[in-house]
Structure 1
Amino acid sequence: MRTTETAHTDNGSNVMGHMQKTDLLEIKAFMERHYNEQLTIGQLADMANISPKYFVDLFKRRFGQSAMGFLTDVRIMHAKRLLTESDARLRDIAQKVGYRDEFYFSRKFKKEVGLSPSDFAKDSKRSIAVCSSSTIGHLLALQLIPEAAPLDPKWSPYYYNLYSDKIKTHLLLTDPYHKFTFEINLDKLCLARPDVIIASDQLQMRESSKLNGIAPVHNVSSKAGWREQLMGIARFLNKEELALQWIDHYEKNAQAGRAQAAQQLGDDRVMALRIYQTQLFVYQNRGLEEVLYDDLHLKTACERGLHGHSPISMDELRELNPERILLAVCPEASSRKYWLSLQHSPEWRQLQAVRNGHVHPITADPWFEYSSVAIARMLEEALLLFTGNCPNTFQDYGYGESFAT
């Protein structure tokens, strides 16, 4: 493996940027796999076949943080998992994540997390119940998994597949997914005996009153943005520092994503559509609009909020004629049948997005949800669809476990 300085041609073009990026990513991946070993700058620089000083500068320039800072993030991430999921001694946890001295590990952990390892372990074992699946997405951003939460394999597959075995009490999804109120969950929630409850201001008054009789309740404001919602929950749970880290991490990814999207899309206009039964709809919701148009600064093919979820005819769509289409097809048989027939219609095939192969499929999960994790997933998915690049280094670990990039 060799990382060399970036070479430039006479016209200033970068001819070795790809090699530099690939080699550094290999070293970064090595650090992720061998975080429990005594890695040094000298060792990593030798792997890259460059001087330690140049390696330090190159790593910081490429990834926005120092190599040792990145290694610390990886180690702390694994330490948090061990503190949360095991009863191992502090000395053993320190050694498992690469620290020989448990006292140094404790000081380092408190500096990075804001809590001592013992306080973090105690705090993470607090029993939390949530009243909506979207609130799971906020808790994961705070590195917490609720004890009780609404889960459904169809409507919240991400949370169901990754966390159903860790969430002990499965509640039922209610409105808008199913036509019954949250009151159906109250008996089961009472038996779960949570320490605190994260609810919504959309609950009925009698439901809120009963929740307050079970445990202290924090109501998430449905009118607040996801950042404000996250910070409100964080203040209630004394996790403000983690919330700020998550938001900062997201903003950096969004900033990098804007540059990538601008380079790839140029002036292309984007439009999101939804097929339900035998009709096309303009698919606009809060999270989708914020990610695409506020955070990535993409150009919209129609005025925001103009159509909402109103039907759109093929004539109207042909007149707008967006360069890029995001398409959500509802899973019902009638919707799939309509989509199959639509693909072969001349009107559809004449759209420039269709002709250029720029129709990108999306699903309700995460594009229907509004939470910290859902927004981050939308950002990643949008960048993957439009540019082929994804900002999240730790995709395999799931959310809420690291902010390292």
Structure 2
Amino acid sequence: MLNNHPIHFYKTARLNLREGQSLAINEESNHYCVFYVSAGKGTLASGDQRIKAEEGKSYFLKDIGKLTTAASVLMSVYMLSWPKEGDILSGFLSDRLAEQAAPRMVPLWEDLQKWNKEKSISARCRFQSLLWDMLAILTDEVEVDTVEEAAELIRNSMSRPYTVAELASKANMSPVSFSRAFRKRTGMTPKEFLNTERMKAAKELMLQKKGITAKEVAQQIGLQDEFYFSRLFKSKEGLPPSIFMKRVKERIAVVSQLFLQDHLLSLGVQPVAAPSYPTVYPASSGVPSYLHQQLEGTMLLNAEKPFKPEDILLTQPDRIIKTPLHNDQLQNVLLSQQEAVHHLPLQQDWRQYLYEISSMVGCESRAEKIGKEIHCLECKVRDELCPLTKKGTWAVLWIRPEEIRLYGQGNHALLDLLFQGLGFQPHPDLHGEGYRIVSLKEIAALNPDKLLILWSHERDVWRAAQSPVWNKLRAVQTGEVYFPDSHEWDPWGPLGRKRLLAELPSSIVKGKLKA
């Protein structure tokens, strides 16, 4: 019986996650957990599963999980956990729980938290009553995930699409109510969603099916009129299918742990295969969000593991761009296609990659134009930042869960940009290259005038700031600590560099921490 459990058997919490932040849940896998997203959205990863975590939805987690935010808005999550030993609740729960609006659920969660903290018998009774109320709401016989199920039906039946009336019937809703609910969840009408999915499928077919024609693509996505398909594709993507297919006239696969697809895309070439980092960018298929849409149709190879030769060969590449891989990984795929492999040595400057790739694909003049454009943008940003950079010396930190990395004066794309390109003055006692793992005491001994904290999560910065040593730092005392939202800052490619430069001035100002 629930009454046999002490109130501290159950733990409640409310957590706020900022953009790109991740939260490990049930790390020892000895608890069950229910959590509710009251605001924002993200991705929940557990085992081999990745699902969207969205506002108004609850999730039952049986094993280790990782929650990562996706949107720029703050993500708020309520959580209830309890030990598997002695559990009596899991039998009432399933992987799919009823969706409920925040105005109904938040007061309930707040009361659960309130009475969970109290120790009296009265508090225990109130907590137990509220807990059963919440379970009743979450297990209501309501249409759970009707929109997601309808969206999946649309994706899987493009050749014979369902009507709105048919989808509404499957959701036990009227067509008007269904259309309203669908638009609220997806931001599109069912027809708009169908056409969007068709265009995604069309891009994948054009990239992955060598020699396919526009007419064949149209037929495979359920459009019998090739000319209508062409008009629809152009209205959605900004260019006709014939031009899109020219982007992959020569089929290029990137076998690298660098995002060299950034350089290719900037030159107007979309690779048929390219690296991704699913745990770093879980919300955008393993690549930075600014590359996500442009890589629709590209096979994304998991660069966190050794590449599988069969995945690369499946894309039928005409040419492979390869850089040296970590741990000297051997790729058998390259042994049978040496004549098609362009070996690219690791470079010190992003432009070297751009110019060599542009020479390979015959876009040298375009690369020169890109180089000049970014140089002008760097000069503009340097002038904007001058009031901030003209006085004082800087140190750059990455505060991680298990360590603090102090970066040196160069030999790193972002450090070179800051110290050589944008006018930041490195502390003279900084080491030369790479990074060193340091303690706060060592940072205090260095005592730079200004601190720039990059790529870090808020919880790790907050933890460091609780140390008494933190408050002794000159930069902290003078209010010269800057913690911009830099999760996706990657200046190794033209698109990433432009994105970084566009965000840098305002992000640094907004990210200034109070003394």
Tell me, what secondary structure is at the counterpart of 1:231? helix
**1:207: Cα distance to partner?**
2.1
* Cα distance in 2 for residues equivalent to 1:268 and 1:88: 62
Q: 2 CA distance for matches of 1:226 and 1:307? A: 17
- In structure 2, what is the Cα distance between the partners aligned to 1:144 and 1:264? 38
Change (3 A) 1:324 1:247: same
TM-score where L is the length of structure 1: 0.57
2:297 alignment partner in structure 1: 167
The 8 Å contact of residues 490 and 497 in structure 2, kept in 1 or not, is answered as: no
Aligned equivalent of 1:341, options 463, 467, 475: 463
Inter-CA distance 338–289: structure 2 relative to 1 (3 Å threshold) = closer
Shift, 1:294, TM fit: 1.2
| Alignment deviations for residues 256-311 of structure 1 (CA, whole Å, 9 cap, x no partner) | 11111213332132211122344322035611221101111210124554373222
- Asked whether 1:286 is paired with 2:408, we answer no
Alignment-derived partner of residue 138 in structure 1: 263
Question: Is 1:382 aligned with 2:509?
Answer: no
TM-score normalised according to structure 2 size: 0.46
**Superposition deviation, residue 353 in structure 1:** 2.5
Query: Relative to structure 1, is the Cα distance of residues 254 and 118 closer, same or farther in structure 2, using a 3 angstrom cutoff?
Result: same
Which has the greater radius of gyration?
A: 2
What is the one-letter code of the residue matched to 1:352? R
CA distance in structure 1 between the aligned counterparts of 2:244 and 2:298, rounded to whole angstroms: 18
How many aligned residue pairs are there?
Answer: 276
- Whether 1:217 and 2:341 are equivalent positions in the alignment is yes
3-state SS of 1:249 partner: helix
Query: 1:255 corresponds to which residue?
Result: 379
CA-to-partner distance for each residue in 1:90-126, whole Å, 9 max, x for gaps? x989x98xxxxxxxxxxxxxxxxxxxx9996553133
Q: How many percent identity over aligned positions?
A: 22
Report the aligned-residue RMSD. 3.9
Does the residue aligned with 2:317 lie in a helix, a strand or coil? coil
Q: Helix, strand or coil for the counterpart of 1:300?
A: coil
1:218 partner amino acid: H
Q: Aligned-pair distance for 1:202?
A: 3.9
Picking from 355, 361, 377, the partner of 2:477 is 355
| Offset, 1:371 | 2.8
Flag the structure with higher helix content. 1
Q: Specify the alignment match of 1:265 in structure 2.
A: 389
In the TM superposition, what is the alpha-carbon distance from 1:237 to its structure 2 partner?
Answer: 0.8
Q: In terms of mean alpha carbon deviation, does 242-251 or 273-282 score higher?
A: 273-282
Paired letter, 1:295: G
Residue 238 of structure 1 pairs with residue 358 of structure 2: no
**1:186 alignment partner, one of 285, 309, 313:** 309
Structure that is richer in strand per residue: 2
**Structure 2 residue corresponding to 1:154, chosen from 262, 272, 279:** 279
Whichever residue aligns with residue 265 of structure 1, its letter is T
Answer with 256-265 or 203-212: which moved more: 203-212
| Cα shift at 1:344 | 2.3
Change in 2 beyond 3 A, CA 1:303/1:143:
farther
In 2: Cα distance, 1:277 partner to 1:205 partner: 28
424, 435, 439: which one pairs with 1:309? 435
With CA pairs under 8 Å and 6+ residues apart, which has the higher RCO, 1 or 2?
Answer: 1
Please report how far the alpha carbon of residue 247 of structure 1 lies from its aligned counterpart in structure 2 after TM superposition. 0.8
Paired AA for residue 292 in structure 2? Y
Q: Which runs of 5+ in 1 are unaligned?
A: 1-80, 97-116, 175-179, 389-405
Change (3 A) 1:314 1:173: same
